[in-house]
Chain A
Amino acid sequence: NAGVMQNPRHLVRRRGQEARLRCSPMKGHSHVYWYRQLPEEGLKFMVYLQKENIIDESGMPKERFSAEFPKEGPSILRIQQVVRGDSAAYFCASSPRDRGANTEAFFGQGTRLTVV
């Protein structure tokens, strides 16, 4: 699972700033999933993307949050006008195909966002 690369590992933003979290999937993986881990909680699904497509964003807050996975380059989770409640660890996972086939999803090391 070390093949999923997330950066930065730690990100500090002031309230009102934008946060951009990047995720490069494992080589050969075309499916990316973002999860959020609030302090002392388990991970919660946010969004599932394939190249150039958002498949399911049912777990993503309706406002200020967006995600993309362009044809070239990493997947980006973008949080606009961050608030203290956005402070969390954000994990990205990738799989070679739709996990409806239930392949393992391999997780990156996470980005820890702190909003001050």
Chain B
Amino acid sequence: AQKVTQAQTEISVVEKEDVTLDCVYETRDTTYYLFWYKQPPSGELVFLIRRNSFDEQNEISGRYSWNFQKSTSSFNFTITASQVVDSAVYFCALSEEGDYKLSFGAGTTVTVRA
């Protein structure tokens, strides 16, 4: 069963636009962890954030912000004032309590045009 769904396959924006990436997850555990990773064209995976299920506070880090809504099982990611360097594939992932595996979504490709 798909545990993490990233419904948007590709998003294309013009520089300075905001872009929001959706992530919907599925778990029966009450304790779990959600992650976002960035995969730029060079191919490596860059860790962006980890959030545990008990912390529903939204988080902001520079131009990045995350909106965690347990009621809708969503952990959305917004890039404000996008830049060309934000062009990448972004993955949302879930880890359940007591499980070391990360379950990844299929990824959303973001293209920021100058």
Q: A: which residues have CB within 8 A of B? A: 1, 31, 33, 35, 40-45, 48, 55-56, 59, 89, 91, 95, 98-100, 102, 104-110, 112
Q: Given the known A-B contacts A45-B101, A48-B100, A48-B101, are A102 and B45 also in contact in the complex, defined by CB atoms under 8 Å?
A: no
Supply 10 further A-B pairs (C-beta < 8 A) apart from A100-B98, A109-B43, A112-B43: A42-B4, A42-B91, A42-B106, A45-B101, A56-B101, A59-B101, A102-B33, A105-B100, A107-B37, A110-B44
Q: Given the known A-B contacts A98-B100, A106-B47, A107-B45, are A43 and B91 also in contact in the complex, defined by CB atoms under 8 Å?
A: yes
Q: Is the CB of A110 within 8 A of B106?
A: no
Q: Given the known A-B contacts A48-B100, A102-B33, are A42 and B105 also in contact in the complex, defined by CB atoms under 8 Å?
A: yes
Instruction: Using CB atoms, name the residue of chain A closest to B104.
Output: A42
The residue from A33, A43, A44, A110 contacting B100, defined by CB atoms under 8 A apart? A33
**How many whole Å from B32's CB to the nearest CB in chain A?**
9
Instruction: Using CB atoms, name the residue of chain A closest to B50.
Output: A104
Taken together as a complex, chains A and B put the C-alpha atoms of A7 and B110 apart, in Å, by 28
Q: What is the count of residue pairs linking A and B with beta-carbon distances less than 8 angstroms?
A: 68
Q: Is the CB of A89 within 8 A of B95?
A: no
Task: Show 8 A/B contacts (Cβ-Cβ < 8 Å), sorted by A.
Answer: A1-B47, A33-B101, A40-B106, A43-B104, A95-B100, A104-B35, A105-B102, A110-B44
Q: Is the CB of A91 within 8 A of B102?
A: no
Q: Is the CB of A102 within 8 A of B97?
A: yes
Q: Given the known A-B contacts A102-B52, A109-B43, are A41 and B106 also in contact in the complex, defined by CB atoms under 8 Å?
A: yes
Taken together as a complex, chains A and B put the C-alpha atoms of A44 and B47 apart, in Å, by 16
For B35, list chain A residues within 8 Å (CB). 104
Tell me the B83-100 residues at the A interface (CB within 8 Å).
Answer: 91, 93, 95, 97-100
**How many whole Å from B1's CB to the nearest CB in chain A?**
14
Question: Which residue of A33, A42, A89, A104 has the most chain B CB atoms within 10 A of its CB atom?
Answer: A42
Interface residue? B46 (CB, 8 A): yes
Taken together as a complex, chains A and B put the C-alpha atoms of A35 and B37 apart, in Å, by 14
Taken together as a complex, chains A and B put the C-alpha atoms of A99 and B43 apart, in Å, by 24
